[in-house]
């Protein structure tokens, strides 16, 4: 397994380098000057001060040289300093990114806790009322945008019932509403995926053998069928990571939460190159790590899976 992990990590390096190069070039093609945004507000900065700061930040060097220097710094763990805030980029991303990761993790827990029972209910009660009810909830979840659901949740459970705070972060109670808003779509997808995977697994020989031995249906479903049926669901988690992070940016805006979304938007508007580049690489590394963990989890769920 160690050699497999090493090969997977090495295979992701060209992808990360390509992402870094693409973001670097696109940011430099965007009109505007970060130094003018930083010092030139109101025309109070002198041309000498602007040129001095541009030279100090290395923005006068050719683009290939800037990219080589930037890549070398990233490899050494020096992600640069924010032009806008004059703070280390990595510290800024960790400070704000933990709220986004916290929200995405909460949404994933809620999605699994709700989607898994719905999928099992729909598979066990196929073509009956349980199946119809579960699939109706799934259809609503897939169809409803997270920002619209977030606004409804704020109106109902914060303004009307006053059960949960509407905005901000700082406790589990402030994660409930944004977590539900972000979790509804993946919850619906998980329910539909568990249903279809279980129905396929019910036709396998080992499931028919377990039933023929007189095992209770609950034991057949939970102990024999569900474990193998979860493999496609685990694969879905890896693919869903990117959508959860992207959806978290929208939900953070609706609930006025600090996170990577607001950090990236402000950095783009201010052409804060180091922050945007660092944030994109931060999300890319997180996505790669989650998908690697998903691949390794296959061996836990299915003993037939071996890594060579």
Quickly count: other Cβ atoms within 10 Å of residue 231's Cβ. 16
Asked if 163 contacts 157 with a C-beta cutoff of 8 angstroms, the reply is: yes
Question: Are 31 and 153 in a shared domain?
Answer: no
**Does residue 292 fall inside a structural domain?**
yes
For 162, list phi and psi in degrees, rounded to 5: 60, 40
Domain span holding position 45: 16-78
**Does residue 240 fall inside a structural domain?**
yes
Q: What is the pLDDT of residues 19-72, one digit of tens each?
A: 888 877 877 777 666 666 666 555 566 677 777 777 776 777 787 888 888 788
Give the chain's domain count.
Answer: 2
Q: How far apart are CA 244 and CA 108, in angstroms?
A: 8
Assign residue 113 the CATH number of its domain: 1.10.3720.10
CA angle 180, 248, 293 (to 5 degrees): 95
What does the pLDDT read at residue 82? 81
Asked if 272 contacts 11 with a C-beta cutoff of 8 angstroms, the reply is: no
Q: How far apart are CA 59 and CA 80, in angstroms?
A: 13
Question: Are 52 and 192 in a shared domain?
Answer: no
Q: How far apart are CA 144 and CA 229, in angstroms?
A: 27
For 242, list phi and psi in degrees, rounded to 5: -60, -40
**Does residue 102 fall inside a structural domain?**
yes
Q: How far apart are CA 198 and CA 126, in angstroms?
A: 11
Question: Are 133 and 47 in a shared domain?
Answer: no
Q: How far apart are CA 177 and CA 251, in angstroms?
A: 10
Predicted structure pTM score: 0.74
Question: Are 58 and 123 in a shared domain?
Answer: no
**Does residue 164 fall inside a structural domain?**
yes
Question: Are 46 and 104 in a shared domain?
Answer: no
Mean pLDDT per 10-residue run, the chain (308 residues)?
Answer: 73 80 77 64 63 73 80 78 80 85 86 84 75 74 78 84 77 83 84 81 72 72 71 75 76 83 79 80 80 72 60
Asked if 241 contacts 291 with a C-beta cutoff of 8 angstroms, the reply is: yes
Tokens of 92: 């800024």
Asked if 111 contacts 190 with a C-beta cutoff of 8 angstroms, the reply is: yes
Q: How far apart are CA 193 and CA 233, in angstroms?
A: 7
Q: What is the pLDDT of residues 248-274, one digit of tens each?
A: 778 888 888 888 877 887 787 777 778
- Give the length of the chain: 308
What does the pLDDT read at residue 308? 57
Question: Are 45 and 141 in a shared domain?
Answer: no
Question: Are 101 and 63 in a shared domain?
Answer: no
Question: Are 46 and 151 in a shared domain?
Answer: no
């Amino acid at each position: 397994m160690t050699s497999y992990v090493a090969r997977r990590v090495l295979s992701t390096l060209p992808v990360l380098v390509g992402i870094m190069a693409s973001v670097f070039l696109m940011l430099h093609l965007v009109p505007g000057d970060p130094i003018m945004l930083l010092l030139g507000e109101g025309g109070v900065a002198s041309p000498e001060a602007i040129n001095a700061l541009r030279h100090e930040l290395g923005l006068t060097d050719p683009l290939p040289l800037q990219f080589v220097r930037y890549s070398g710094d990233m490899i050494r763990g020096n992600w640069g300093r924010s032009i806008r805030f004059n703070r280390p980029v990595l510290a800024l991303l960790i400070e704000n990114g933990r709220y986004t990761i916290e929200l995405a993790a909460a949404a994933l827990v809620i999605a699994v806790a709700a989607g898994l029972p719905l999928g099992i209910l729909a598979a066990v009660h196929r073509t009956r009322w349980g199946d119809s009810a579960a699939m109706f909830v799934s259809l609503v979840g897939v169809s409803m945008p997270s920002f619209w659901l977030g606004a409804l949740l704020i109106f109902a459970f914060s303004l009307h019932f006053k059960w949960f705070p509407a905005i901000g972060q700082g406790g589990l109670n402030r994660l409930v509403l944004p977590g539900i808003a972000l979790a509804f779509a993946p919850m619906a997808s998980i329910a539909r995926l568990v249903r279809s995977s279980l129905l396929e697994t019910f036709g396998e020989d080992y499931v028919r053998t377990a039933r023929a031995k007189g095992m209770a249906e609950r034991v057949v479903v939970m102990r024999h069928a569900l474990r193998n049926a979860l493999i496609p669901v685990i694969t879905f988690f890896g693919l869903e990571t990117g959508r959860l992070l992207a959806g978290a940016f929208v939900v953070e805006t609706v609930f006025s939460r600090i996170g990577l979304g607001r950090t990236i938007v402000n950095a783009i508007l201010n052409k804060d190159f180091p922050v945007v580049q660092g944030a994109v690489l931060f999300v890319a590394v997180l996505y790669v790590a989650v998908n690697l963990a998903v691949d390794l989890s296959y061996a836990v769920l299915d003993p037939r899976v071996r890594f060579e």
